Chains A and B, each alone.
Chain A
Amino acid sequence: MKPILRSYLIEVNVGSSAPAQGQNISFQDYPQLRDIFLCGIIAQDSGQVTKSPSGKAVVTTLTDATITIMDKFNSEVIFQYPAYDLNPADQSGFYRDFVPFPMQLTKSYVTIMNTGTYTANQSFLFNILYYTAKDAAMLGARKK
């Protein structure tokens, strides 16, 4: 695992009604996560966190959801990756780190794989691990 440079928690709420199989739920815009390079994602369910910072109930399992992450060129760099695989509690404490790429959060989404698993107003929690272009310039300067 690479050391975490920056992390920001994002919440994906399923909405006011229970989501159906095949439904895509888009990520909201977070100003902190514009123009960033994604290098890892950590997801958790209610086995670790029961309420989000905004007070919403956290989903009870990640097994029936996948995530798709778009880069700024509208390419699906991560396509329908099982969310369960992003929870360190289920992966011997490891988190998944990726070769960094410029992420486009607002075109990225969660896909529900089974009707009935998730109920209204539940939230997915994802920690986006990232760095900025300024960080990259500083890291490059340190290597020289």
Chain B
Amino acid sequence: METGNNIISKKFYRVTIPLLNETNNSFNVQGKYYFPEVRNLENKKINGIQVHYGNVDITLKSNQSFQNKQLWFINPASFGGLNTFLTLYDVDGNELIGNMPTSILHNIGTGKIIPFNAYLNLKKSYILVPEVYVSTPPVIPALTLTFFHD
């Protein structure tokens, strides 16, 4: 079957990053948030990354919580939510992606997933929230992304 330049991924894995940490537990979410350790994505070639936004393509599920607090999957900035920027490092410590707006990785209305080709070091990679943004307790803002890999 003709597939054009489409890339076929065998597996998908979703990672959620709570935008809150011990140093800013006043619920001002401005800052840098490193990815958790994700063993399922170690030594995997990442073919694509997709960001999901709250109330656009994903809603809160009752079984998704962090420290017994509810997660709020953030809205995109254009819907009054948060501006978030993604920085990714590869396994050799090189910066592959520097401050890419996550909105580029959101495929609302287009169906396109931006293709990548990299082995990532997620522990060194992070999300940047540049603005002061005060969340309403006890709901914790979170960003969730799906990684497509071999």
Contacts and interface: CB of A to CB of B under 8 A. Distances in A.
Nearest to B132: A55
Interface residues of B, number: 30
In this complex, the member of B77, B114, B128 whose beta carbon has the largest number of chain A beta carbons within 10 angstroms is: B114
A54 B131 CA distance: 9
A95 B115 CA distance: 11
A27 B124 CA distance: 28
A106 interface: no
Contact of B101 (A2, A6, A48, A95): A48
B130 A1 contact: no
Interface string A54-81: 1100000000000000000000000000
A72 to B, nearest CB: 21
Contacts of B111: 93
B94 to A, nearest CB: 8
B103 A48 contact: yes
Interface in A41-57: 42, 44, 46-55
A3 B117 contact: yes
Interface of A: 1-9, 32, 42, 44, 46-55, 88-89, 92-95, 125, 127
